[in-house]
Amino acid sequence: KICDCMEGASPVRAEQSKRAAIKILQCNNELCQYELRQDGDVESVSQSKRVVKLKLEAAPKLCLIIKKPSAPQLHQPLRDVANFMSKDLGLDVAVEPAVKAEFTDLPFLISVGPPPQPFSDFLGGKGIGSPKDYDAETLKAVDFVVCLGGDGTILWVSGLYNGPCPPIISFAMGSLGFLTPFNFDEYKEVIAKTAAGDVEIGIRTRLFASVHDEMNRKISDHVCLNEVSLDRGPSPLLTQIECYCDGRYVSTSHGDGVIVATPTGSTAYSLAAGGSMVHPDVPGMLLTPICAHMLAFRPFVFPDSVTLRLKVPDNAEFNAWCSFDGKNAMALNKGWSVDICTSKWPLPLATREVESLDWFSGVTQSLNWNNRQAQGALVPETQPEMQRTSLSPPSFPPIEGVNGADSRHYSANSSKDAQTQGSRQKKLSLAQVQAGAAGVGEVMSPALIDAPEIMR
């Protein structure tokens, strides 16, 4: 068969009109794979879809409940959830050591660590213990986590799992709700559905940060859900921080510091520093300056495939400080650096079928974003008419034997005192007359109108 061709072009057979087959090599930070396309077409699928369908191949056995500390109003909800999972679903229920010691009426609870020491932290939580003391094997055996609290409780769970993290079911029982899509009233339905192995999971990107000294020796590693921040710490002076992308110099920040945030963290510290809100499905890393002492340095977004390096210059005046999700603050001496890349272990959060609606609801309700009272429509029948200025020219006493127009002219020029006294009134009167003739309620400045105009 001969295909339809343009006029003047040579005919091309159908089997010759196809492109040559191609083989596409796609790579990420973990692996590379080939895809053979016989038709030679290069297609692109949206890379921002981060919702996956989770199907458990075996029935879950162990569940971990994390409760917001120092919250007496959550005692009864924890009892309800623990009894439901233990008695109705037949699951083993694990809690933190402080919760195990507090809820003695629930003997079936399993502690993930040794009993806490009797102390009070700076937040007022008594004996919450340290995650470093938790049993790693018990945490590794957890099939899914139930969080009772706010977004801070999710950050705490992220700190417990610096590596692979089990799915997290979060119920909104805190002050913010960006990461807590479910209401506690539906806890039985949501937990039973998860235990049955049918749940929608939203993938939340995390950051992997490595601290190196001036000899490029690794000091520590950290995994962050929100951000890595480098700032001036207790120093009252500006700090200098150099930024590199994949080894290439980008810029130097002069100010209070810089923030490298995930899309999830774009509504946290980065937002307070002037950064943009980024949807959690967008793959990227945000670099946001903190009170930069320059006009040209603005927040921008890097792809999630690069590695950023934030370095304290060797010739810097002062040291800097670094923190990870607001915790584990440490000083960075001159020449020290922090390498930041996307972690291969994201945070899986149970979500509804349409995660975007959860995020927009959280932004609107928690931050009151773009939320104002709607302006009412104009209704001509109920709107008052435009008031026109209907002021008449200034009146003067009539003079015998002279008509009205000549009377004003004569009166204005009869004496120097009368002209000086009436000049400003005449200017204002002409301006008001002109404004009334144009149908505008505003009056022109008298200084823009000369006195001779009144005479004419």
**Catalytic residue ranges:** 151
What's the first-to-final CA gap in the chain, in angstroms?
90
Q: Which two tokens stand for residue 39?
A: 């038709």
Please state the length of the chain: 456
Contact 345, 164 (CB under 8 A): yes
Distance (Å, whole) CA 408 – CA 402? 9
Distance (Å, whole) CA 250 – CA 306? 13
Go through 303-326 and write b for each residue having 16 or more CB atoms within 10 A of its CB, e for each that does not.
ebebbbbbbbeeebeeebbbbbbe
Closest C-alpha among 59, 67, 62, 145 to residue 349: 145
Under 8 Å CB-to-CB from 385, ≥6 apart: which residues?
A: none
Under 8 Å CB-to-CB from 339, ≥6 apart: which residues?
A: 209, 210, 212, 307, 308, 309
Task: Beginning with the edge strand found earlier in the chain, give each strand of the sheet holding 168-172 in spatial order.
Answer: 51-55, 198-204, 347-351, 168-172, 144-149, 62-67, 92-95, 110-111
Strand-pair partners of 337: 212, 311
Distance (Å, whole) CA 269 – CA 260? 10
Q: Which two tokens stand for residue 75?
A: 């005692």
Q: How far is CA 298 from CA 93, 231, 246, 295, 340, in A?
A: 47, 17, 20, 8, 19
Under 8 Å CB-to-CB from 393, ≥6 apart: which residues?
A: 408, 426, 429, 430, 433, 454
State residue 13 phi and psi, 5-degree precision.
-70, 150
- Tell me, letter by letter, the H, E, C secondary structure of 51-83: EEEEECCCCCCEEEEEECCCCHHHHHHHHHHHH
Closest C-alpha among 265, 322, 307 to residue 288: 265
Under 8 Å CB-to-CB from 425, ≥6 apart: which residues?
A: 394
State residue 253 phi and psi, 5-degree precision.
-95, 130
